[in-house]
Structure 1
Amino acid sequence: MVYRGKPSAACERCRHRRLKCDYRTPSCTQCIRADVSCPGYRNLLELKFKDQSKEVVRNYRLPASKKRPASTSTVEPQTSIPTGIPRDSDDFGALCCEKTALSIPRANLVYPEQEIARSYLYANYIIGGPRCGHMSYLLPLIERSRNSAVNAAVSAVALAALANIRLSPKTMLKAQQEYTTALSKTNLALKDPSMCKTDGILAAVVMLGMFEVMTCTDGSFIDRWVNHMEGATKLIELRGSAQLSRQEGLDLFTQLRAQVGIIRIYQERYSSSVFTNLTEDIHLDRNPDDQIIDQLFIAITRLTDFCANIKNRHIVEPKEIIGTALKIDAELVSLMISVPPLWRYDTVKVPMLDGKPITQAFWGNSYHIYHSIYASSMWNNYRSARIIIQELIINAVKDLESITNDNIGYPQRSNLTNQARQTCLQLVEDICASVPYNLGMEIEDSGHLGSSAPGASVGHGLDIGATLSSFQITGAGGLTIMWPLLVAGNSPIACGDLRKWIAICLDKIGHSMGINQALAMSKLIQDGVQSRVFLSPEYQSQPYKS
């Protein structure tokens, strides 16, 4: 018997359609909503183990002359690692375990570096373990286009992440070569009126942008990253509403919308009308439980346009700024009062020992548990937006006081500032409370700190004996928490210890997940540089040193 890894407990329909199954009986919610008969669930115990007695006997009876000598420097595995990947996590886990069983491990066994890198990318960004994959849309695109631009781009990102983790210039050179190939194939496809509208080409552009995030070494990467995102925005416009009828197209649109939104709000530019119009198109047709992410995006676009109006001096009066900021803030709060169950989170208390938390790996005495990375990302986008609003209110009150000589309104202004600071502090602490989930840490029932890898604890108390837990650390978790951490670390209420803790978190993401952009963000916080500078021309001239 061979253990085949933890299979998916989802029903057959949810697994094939890559939907979030809630495992209810006699029918899951997804099947009830679609008004179809739920096909039921598999026997997980039978799937976890595979009887390989016959294979073992057959291998044992092989003539000695046909067996490879143990002294061979490089041994080809009996089953090669595929360039494509299986469609669901249980098949992937079974395949990996099956390779271990069929191939006798040897100390001098060598696998192609590119396949190791791609396997890392699959596990950390595409499959994503029990918390769902961040880029699951890549699965069918890679399988359908084995020699396309998207495959070269995937290899470039995978090799870049591996090169950063291993500190390998040789691997990074391979990543740069794959990037050049992907860029060439993408540019060629963009000249074809039909090819430029395919999901594969849009995914390639997304991965080219992700490559810049992985390989960030100086300020100039920002320009390249923004160019890729702007190019993707133009593709979204060309593709029209038809792209939203396909699951891959919808997932690509949703992810790009969030990235472009970050760029616009930090650069204080007006929101993209393309994304706004398409969001309104899909809002009513989307699953009711998922409509909250569209509603949140529409609310945040009002903040984006508001920031652009302030920068362009279309709004200059402090009272008008305060009034508009309070209105947008109230809209965001009312929107998140009652979110669907799958988008909620639980708050877990950190166990205490002698009146103190048992570990300093977490900030504060509690942390959050979410249903998925998508839910964590949605809440942190909401918190980041509200932090920016509180900063606008605090600054506007200061401007109002500088031009107001009377003391009549002082108590109200003081109360407004204190309220904004308290709200900002709570939002920052909530972002920090989401870090353990995104970095794959938890407190187990036994009271010990758990992580998905030895030494994965984060914080200023790194002398903790970390143990393996049910959480699985993924690069997707680190990728989605970076910008909220930057916003939190740059907040005016962030104390020195909090900034230090956030910088350590970003360093951990950068070094353990191979994401160089996190290291650049950490340096910004340590140097006390305003976060908005990160997406400005002034930052591009400043070299980054890790």
Structure 2
Amino acid sequence: MVYTGQPSRGCDTCRKRRIKCDERKPECLHCVRTKRKCPGYRDQFDLAWRDQTVVAKKSVERGKRGHKKEERERHHSSSSSSTQIIDLTPIVEDFQEFSPPTLLPTPSPSPTLRGPPEDHALCFFFTRYVLPQRDPLARRGFLEYTLPIYSRSGPHSPLKLSIQAVATSMLSGAMNQGDDPPLARSFYLGAVQHMKERVIEQRDCADDELLMAVMLLQMYEQLVGRTKKNTSPKAHLDGALALIKHRGVGNFKGDVSRGLLYYVRSVFVEECTRNAKPMPRGIETWSELSPDSDQIPTVRLDTIMVDIANLQAYSLPLLNTTELPAGVRFSRLMQTINYLTDIDDRLTSWSWSLPSTWAPIRVSGKQSIPPNIPQAGLYEQYCDVYASIFIASLWNKLRLSQIRTKNLIIGCLSQVKATPNNIKLREACQLGIQQAVDDICASVPFNIGDRMQPEDKIVHYPMAPGRPVPNDHYQSGPAMGGWSLLQPLGAVWGMKLKMRDGQRQWIGGQMARIARIYGIRRGKG
């Protein structure tokens, strides 16, 4: 769909002659000198969208060759054993009439499914990721809207093919067969081709369906990127931003449209804070379009994180520069500390504004913590229980924002005079960072329980006294628990934070455990 390289912005004549264009308007200098009529420049919307069909085809062919090789190896190694058959819940044509089935058993590494694999993948995707009910205030604006739009889509729509690509990738990963099987890649290729046709014709470019398909392809690339040690791809995200600009932000009306808009903003926020980049201009005002945005905790947190991303992008170069006069640099550092302190207060106020039912419940003892959890992963003698995986992820998102903010304050304080007030602020920030790291560690048992291997069929989770583990958690935990921990654990592990002795090693061990469970290939370190 979106070309991942840097597309040429020159005129058609310069591009065909493969020479550098100075992009002057209305005519480039080369065309003027050669006395040619300059054909002009392509629209910026078109530049964000490029055909990746050839690349995707080559990837599919490589995947098919690798798949055939794996099949031969599996057949050779298991020729003396019987094949396991998994009897899944029959697929219902109308997903609106689904009722979530019992927990899908985690299959062995090489099971055989009865019926079309794409049907099983769709069942797995909708029942585990789409249909589970959420708190009305826990709207994030993406997967919960896929079902009604999916039911209205044609058989070859980009959305339907994108969902099939993501669903097949997720099911293949859950079966420990990798996240980029040939079938998933073929669905991806089909979605790319049909999306290309619509974009070229500028047909349905102002449609929620097309924007949702783009974000699903972004999700697919993230899944594949994690297992192939790639960085998070940003090309589809740039394509989504191009669609939004083409459509006009003011034309996003209704819950679905605005929910998608908030989701794209949330992905940009996480991408920019992770890479210390400023937010694209204009995104910070998107939340002002909805009258109820102040009531949605995720939207309010993202609004604060927009400021964190921009201030982080500003302050990091300031900490490393020696070119400014001492007085100017000191003034800017103190101003940055004041801004960061204000953001830290806003994050605290946000946590106080959450519904009481969202507060984590700290538990300890054998009655609340199953016996295998301490051996699997329990940092202290306690852990926290949440209302849902989504709410646990939201709390960890807050904690990671607090860690980044307080760590920047410490960095700025290290380059100014150590007054009593500055020393006191530094110590408070260090204590706050340690508390946030401890709380992230305390969320690990709730997210992944005592699971150690991908083939573990029975997983136990901690529970609050008198509150048994909800049935939904036995679906959402294995499906999303480990994935939701990757960013907070990975960010804390990679930061140069002052933590308790052995805590960083414990976090690294939990990351290795998650990588083993989900088949993620970890890079060096």
Q: TM-score, normalised by structure 2?
A: 0.66
- Distance 1:427-1:414 versus aligned 2 partners, 3 A rule: same
- Distance 1:510-1:117 versus aligned 2 partners, 3 A rule: farther
Counterpart position of 1:310: 315
- Kept in 1: contact 2:131–2:144 (CA 8 A): yes
Counterpart position of 2:379: 363
Q: CA deviation at 1:417?
A: 2.4
**Secondary structure of 1:359's match?**
helix
- Kept in 1: contact 2:88–2:120 (CA 8 A): no
- Kept in 2: contact 1:345–1:370 (CA 8 A): yes
Q: CA deviation at 1:226?
A: 1.0
- 1:430-441 to 2 correspondences below 5 Å: 430-439=439-448
**Secondary structure of 1:216's match?**
helix
2:299 maps to 1:294: yes
RMSD: 4.1
Q: CA deviation at 1:248?
A: 2.7
CA displacement, residues 477-522 of structure 1 (integer Å, 9 cap, x when unaligned): 43333212222323403456433433344344444446x4xx54xx
Amino acid aligned to 1:81? I
2:405 maps to 1:396: no
Counterpart position of 1:285: 292
Counterpart position of 1:332: 347
Structure 2 residue ranges without an equivalent (≥5):
1-82, 105-110, 319-323, 463-467
Q: Following the alignment from structure 2 to structure 1, what is the Cα–Cα distance between the partners of residues 498 and 97? A: 44
Q: Following the alignment from structure 2 to structure 1, what is the Cα–Cα distance between the partners of residues 201 and 421? A: 61
Q: CA deviation at 1:432?
A: 2.2
2:361 maps to 1:347: yes
CA displacement, residues 255-290 of structure 1 (integer Å, 9 cap, x when unaligned): 2222110111122222234432220111x334x6x3
- 1:114-133 to 2 correspondences below 5 Å: 114-128=118-132
Q: Following the alignment from structure 2 to structure 1, what is the Cα–Cα distance between the partners of residues 179 and 221? A: 18
Q: Identity over aligned residues, as a percent?
A: 20
- Distance 1:453-1:207 versus aligned 2 partners, 3 A rule: same
Counterpart position of 1:544: none
- 1:31-180 to 2 correspondences below 5 Å: 81-82=91-92, 86-87=95-96, 90=99, 92-93=100-101, 110-128=114-132, 135-145=143-153, 146-168=155-177, 172-180=181-189
Counterpart position of 1:425: 434
Q: Following the alignment from structure 2 to structure 1, what is the Cα–Cα distance between the partners of residues 112 and 402? A: 54
Q: Following the alignment from structure 1 to structure 2, what is the Cα–Cα distance between the partners of residues 217 and 339? A: 32
CA displacement, residues 459-479 of structure 1 (integer Å, 9 cap, x when unaligned): 9xxxxxxx9974322433433
**Secondary structure of 2:395's match?**
helix
Amino acid aligned to 1:324? Y
User: Which of 262, 274, 280 is equivalent to 1:266?
Assistant: 274
Q: Following the alignment from structure 2 to structure 1, what is the Cα–Cα distance between the partners of residues 352 and 84? A: 59
**Secondary structure of 2:144's match?**
coil
Count residues with an aligned counterpart: 408
User: Which of 496, 499, 504 is equivalent to 1:499?
Assistant: 504
Amino acid aligned to 1:479? W
- Kept in 2: contact 1:488–1:494 (CA 8 A): no
**Secondary structure of 1:371's match?**
coil
Q: Following the alignment from structure 1 to structure 2, what is the Cα–Cα distance between the partners of residues 170 and 432? A: 27
- Kept in 1: contact 2:178–2:227 (CA 8 A): no
- Kept in 2: contact 1:237–1:274 (CA 8 A): no
- Kept in 2: contact 1:163–1:172 (CA 8 A): yes
Q: TM-score, normalised by structure 1?
A: 0.64
Structure 1 residue ranges without an equivalent (≥5):
1-72, 97-106, 443-448, 460-466, 528-546
**Secondary structure of 2:95's match?**
coil
Q: CA deviation at 1:392?
A: 0.8
- Kept in 2: contact 1:380–1:484 (CA 8 A): yes
Q: Following the alignment from structure 1 to structure 2, what is the Cα–Cα distance between the partners of residues 166 and 108? A: 10
CA displacement, residues 221-278 of structure 1 (integer Å, 9 cap, x when unaligned): 436x211112212223333446643333233223222211011112222223443222
- Distance 1:109-1:123 versus aligned 2 partners, 3 A rule: closer
Query: Which stretch of structure 1 is more off in the superposition, 390-399 or 305-314?
Result: 305-314
Q: Following the alignment from structure 1 to structure 2, what is the Cα–Cα distance between the partners of residues 137 and 219? A: 29
Q: CA deviation at 1:327?
A: 1.9
Q: Following the alignment from structure 1 to structure 2, what is the Cα–Cα distance between the partners of residues 351 and 171? A: 41
2:290 maps to 1:276: no
Counterpart position of 2:28: none
Q: CA deviation at 1:338?
A: 2.8
CA displacement, residues 107-144 of structure 1 (integer Å, 9 cap, x when unaligned): 99722222222222223322246789971211112211
**Secondary structure of 2:384's match?**
strand
Query: Which stretch of structure 1 is more off in the superposition, 433-442 or 138-147?
Result: 433-442
Query: Which stretch of structure 1 is more off in the superposition, 367-376 or 263-272?
Result: 367-376
User: Which of 210, 227, 234 is equivalent to 2:235?
Assistant: 227
